[in-house]
A and B are shown apart, each in its own frame.
Chain A
Amino acid sequence: MAVQVRVPTILRSYTGGAKVVEGGGDTLAALFDDLETRHSGLRARLVTDAGDLHRFVNVYINDEDVRFLGGLDAKLSDGDSVTILPAVAGG
């Protein structure tokens, strides 16, 4: 099962500069664990020690914010697209 993950500029030091990486897992937590095996250090930038998504990190599955899909328990399917972005201001 493969999922495409878009990585923001600020976290590309963990992906060798790659903008898009592939990963697998049936939940977001499993995906982050899988990514960690190849991109060491990335997981700690996304997930706090308490096991929650970092406050200033937004993650989207097929453009929908995962915080409304169960957070790290959000389900993933083959071919899904995951986008990671830092939280920025609008207005």
Chain B
Amino acid sequence: MRFDSLVDSVGRTPLVGLPRLSPSPDVRLWAKLEQNNPTGSVKDRAALWMIQDAEKRGILSPGATVLEPTSGNTGISLAMVCRQRGYRLICVMPENTSVERRQLLTMWGAEIIFSPAAGGSNEAVAVAKRLAAEHPDWVMLYQYGNQANAQAHYETTGPEILADLPGITHFVAGLGTTGTLMGTGRYLREHVPGISIIAAEPRYGELVYGLRNIDEGFVPELYDPSVLTARYSVGPKDALRRTRELVAEEGIFAGISTGAILHAALAQAERAVREGKRADIAFIVCDGGWKYLSTGAYAGTLEEAEAALEGQLWA
């Protein structure tokens, strides 16, 4: 396939079957390989759509400064797009994110402002909102509330999956900004009556939930629970176990959040088998495992890996 430039190659990722992890010929799992995007994650779609949308609306012009709270992948995607278009990018990122993410952001030309580990991405959002108020000329794309984030998936991820898997019965993805689930979920619901849209939400160590009070909690503005069928919380042990199974059984080397998604997908598969129903379950592989090697996720015993992840924002 030939493209005019790197950003033109975003999307159209492969959907591959999991012959060994699928429980039966009637209940099959399919992985959407988003690590095949230019910067290696599903976030390239949202980043490109948010930038293009801001350009269309005239709020981004050459030389502009873009600001974004991000735990990593969205920042990396934005950095790639911004650099090519001549925008300065400032990312606000929690300090408890992997060293690879920092190096990649810097490599693609982004500046990083760190927010405190306690409170995780909530703190990054709060810091970014303060900075945006102090610098009215900076453009905060704000992935948590930007409809272009969900729209990217409504226009690309959803149609791609349906074209490759017309018999789809379940779609499973991670819940962060909720953009992937809202956009893809809405598209699939419109075209596949009765489809199940399943969210897998990473459950971190206690440090990440270290808010001072409940009112500092955060629900992304994009989130519409009516799009979802069910939502599961997946802890680091299950996420790590499934991440390792995915590479051992199917050869797919994915990041840890994908393990959490696979865990929820396998639960749906087991349920279909129990109920004697046919199922074609598509799930998102958010990114490859490269950025998480330093977390220890792939080395030693599961217990050691889980201990190493404590306090880390691993998804």
Residue of A nearest to B118 (CB): A9
- A50 located at the interface, meaning its Cβ lies under 8 Å from any Cβ of chain B in the complex: no
Q: In chain B, what residue has the closest Cβ to A58? A: B233
Interface residues of B (CB under 8 A from A): 69-71, 73-74, 119-122, 124-125, 143-144, 174-177, 179, 199, 201-204, 206, 208-220, 225, 228-235, 315
How far is A14 from B8 in the complex, measured between Cα atoms in Å? Answer: 54
Contact B209 A9 (CB under 8 A): yes
- Residues of B with C-beta under 8 A to A10: 209-214
- Apart from A64-B230, A65-B201, A87-B219, what 6 extra A-B contacts exist at CB < 8 Å? A9-B209, A11-B214, A45-B214, A57-B217, A88-B121, A91-B74
Q: Smallest distance from the beta carbon of A60 to chain B beta carbons, Å?
A: 5
Of B71, B203, B210, B228, the residue contacting A91 (CB under 8 A) is B71
Known: A10-B209, A91-B71. A65 touches B231 (CB 8 A): yes
Instruction: List 21 interface pairs A-B (beta carbons < 8 Å), by A numbering.
Output: A8-B206, A8-B209, A10-B209, A55-B217, A56-B216, A63-B233, A64-B231, A65-B231, A65-B233, A67-B225, A85-B203, A86-B211, A86-B214, A87-B218, A88-B121, A89-B69, A89-B125, A90-B121, A90-B201, A91-B70, A91-B144
User: Is A15 an interface residue when CB atoms closer than 8 A count as contact?
Assistant: no
Alpha-carbon gap, A86 to B235, bound state (A): 15
Inter-chain contact A90/B230, CB cutoff 8 Å = no
Query: Would you give the 0/1 interface string for A1-13, flagging 1 where the beta carbon is closer than 8 Å to chain B?
Result: 0000000111100
Decide if B217 touches A91 in the complex (CB within 8 Å): no
Which 3 A-B residue pairings sit nearest by Cβ, starting from the closest?
A56-B217, A90-B176, A89-B121
Asked if B177 contacts A91 (CB within 8 A), the reply is yes
Name the CB-closest residue of A to B215: A56
Query: CB-nearest residue of chain B relative to A11?
Result: B214
User: How far apart are the CA atoms of A83 and B216 in the complex, in Å?
Assistant: 19
Does A75 have its Cβ within 8 Å of any Cβ on chain B? no
Q: Which residues of A contact B125 (CB under 8 A)?
A: 89
Residues on A with beta carbons closer than 8 Å to the beta carbon of B233:
58, 60, 63-65, 83, 85
Chain A residues lying within 8 Å of B204, measured Cβ to Cβ, are 88
Tell me whether B229 and A86 are in contact (CB under 8 A).
Answer: no
Least CB distance, A54 to chain B, in whole angstroms: 6
Q: Mark A59-71, 1 if CB is under 8 A from B, else 0.
A: 0100111011000
- Find A88's partner among B73, B74, B120, B225 (CB 8 Å cutoff): B120
Which A1-47 residues have C-beta < 8 A from chain B?
Answer: 8-11, 45
**Does A65 lie within 8 Å of B230, measured CB to CB?**
yes
**CB–CB A89/B229 < 8 A:** no
Return chain B residues, CB-CB under 8 Å to A90.
Answer: 71, 121, 174-177, 201-202, 315
Question: Contact: B214 with A57, CB < 8 Å?
Answer: yes
| Bound-complex Cα distance A65 to B217 (A) | 16
